[in-house]
């Protein structure tokens, strides 16, 4: 479980995203801003978590980082090199260092290919190694993720969802990458299996010195895995800070809402959360106020300023940073959960 900061590498960033903006065209003249001015860095050997509801821009950010989505403005740097608009050949080279584990273990593996062929493909495509060496590497990784080597000669349909996700993790590690995007890697799994996969990812990070960009809609899952957390809503950054600090003392109404929506084992505590001082309005598809906070149409504490001015990112409780005009006067300001 990842809970402490590796101070030896605290100042070394593997990935830097600066003022990222991604806009999609929605017709002749229409457009949709999926990501709007998001900045963050992923330090060496650490995990940065992106959390938010569907449509918050999490996966779009990941796709932009991986070169799968065109960037409208802003920059993405990997190991100090600008990769925002890298060529196909540059992206191919980056594949050795940047990999991804997708959400759905049932669709991420080809049903017509044996596991061995799926695993060795990246190694054969990117490096001039004998097939026997590639198969040895596949066997070793398969064992490391908790599956016996005899699984190499089987098809994906012969495995459970948790086992398939372990295979997907092994595939992502075949090239010994430095950086892995984990896009909702456990959301399709049973709770008991989720914990096993999360523990595996944490162990592999420590053993291989990996850096993760970890995406989820469940703040508890993100907290478990991440050193730093970014809370996103409709493409904008609402709050960021150390995972434990955000969980203990959230500064933004939206962060608080996400926390209170997370299930807990104690029924009494769950009821207490639901009956807290948050009376947020239901989700809405109304347009983001021009220049204002995108969460203001749902926020019970919004004032006129919230719909007119985009809030700057300012210091919040417990050392976090919050994009909220009223963060210092909210009922829970400075209160630890």
CA 101 to chain centre: 11
Q: What is the pLDDT of residue 270?
A: 61
Q: Residue 22: which pLDDT band, with cuts at 50, 70 and 90?
A: very high
**Residue 5: pLDDT above 50?**
no
- What's the whole-number mean pLDDT along residues 241-270? 82
Residue with tokens 């004032």: 303
Q: What is the pLDDT of residue 265?
A: 59
Q: What is the pLDDT of residue 264?
A: 63
Question: Mind listing the pLDDT tens digit for each residue in 62-80?
Answer: 999 999 999 999 999 999 9
Residues 6+ apart with CB under 8 A from 212: 42, 46, 47, 48, 179, 180, 181, 182, 201, 205, 225, 226
Q: Does domain 8-97+177-250 have CATH number 3.40.605.10?
A: no
CA angle (171 as vertex; 166, 177 as ends), nearest 5: 115
The answer to whether 2 and 23 are in contact (CB under 8 A) is no
- What's the whole-number mean pLDDT along residues 275-299? 69
Q: Residue 45: which pLDDT band, with cuts at 50, 70 and 90?
A: very high
Residue from 98, 99, 71, 96 nearest 85 by CA: 71
Residues 6+ apart with CB under 8 A from 265: none
Q: Residue 120: which pLDDT band, with cuts at 50, 70 and 90?
A: very high
**Residue-wise burial string across 42-62, b where 16 or more C-beta atoms lie within 10 A, e elsewhere:** bbbbbbbbbbbeebbbbbbbb
Name the percent of the chain lying above pLDDT 90.
69
Domain parsing of the chain, residue ranges = 8-97+177-250
By DSSP bridging, strand 314-315 and strand 321-322 are: antiparallel
The answer to whether 230 and 213 are in contact (CB under 8 A) is no
Q: What is the pLDDT of residue 277?
A: 43
Beta bridge partners of 315: 321
Q: What is the pLDDT of residue 105?
A: 82
- What's the whole-number mean pLDDT along residues 36-53? 96
Name the percent of the chain lying above pLDDT 70.
88
């Amino acid at each position: 479980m990842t809970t402490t900061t590796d101070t030896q590498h605290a100042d070394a960033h593997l990935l830097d995203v600066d003022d990222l903006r991604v806009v999609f065209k929605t017709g002749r003249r229409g457009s949709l801003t999926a990501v709007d001015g998001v900045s963050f860095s992923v330090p060496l050997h650490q995990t940065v978590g992106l959390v938010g509801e569907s449509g918050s821009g999490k996966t779009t950010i990941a796709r932009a980082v991986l070169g799968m989505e065109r960037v409208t403005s802003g920059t993405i740097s990997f190991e100090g090199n600008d990769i925002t608009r890298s060529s196909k050949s540059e992206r191919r080279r980056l594949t050795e260092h940047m990999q991804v584990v997708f959400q759905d273990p049932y669709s991420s593996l080809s049903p017509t290919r044996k596991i061995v062929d799926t695993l060795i493909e990246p190694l054969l495509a990117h490096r001039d190694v004998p097939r026997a060496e590639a198969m040895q590497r596949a066997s070793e990784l398969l064992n490391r993720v908790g599956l016996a080597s005899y699984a190499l000669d089987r098809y994906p349909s012969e495995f459970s969802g948790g086992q398939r996700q372990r295979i997907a993790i092994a595939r992502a590690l075949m090239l010994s990458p430095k950086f892995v995007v984990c896009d909702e890697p456990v959301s399709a799994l049973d709770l008991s299996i989720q914990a096993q996969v999360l523990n595996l990812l944490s162990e592999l990070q420590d053993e291989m010195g990996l850096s993760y960009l970890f995406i989820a809609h469940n703040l508890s899952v993100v907290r478990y895995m991440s050193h730093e957390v970014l809370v996103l809503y409709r493409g904008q950054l609402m709050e960021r800070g150390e995972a434990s600090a955000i969980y203990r003392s959230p500064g933004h109404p939206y962060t608080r809402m996400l926390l209170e929506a997370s299930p807990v084992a104690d029924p009494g505590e769950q009821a207490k959360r639901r009956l807290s001082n948050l009376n947020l309005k239901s989700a809405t598809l109304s347009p983001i106020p021009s220049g204002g906070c995108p969460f203001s149409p749902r926020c019970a504490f919004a004032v006129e300023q919230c719909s007119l001015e985009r809030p700057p990112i300012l210091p919040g409780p417990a050392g976090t940073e919050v994009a909220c005009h009223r963060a210092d006067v909210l009922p829970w300001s400075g209160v630890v959960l």
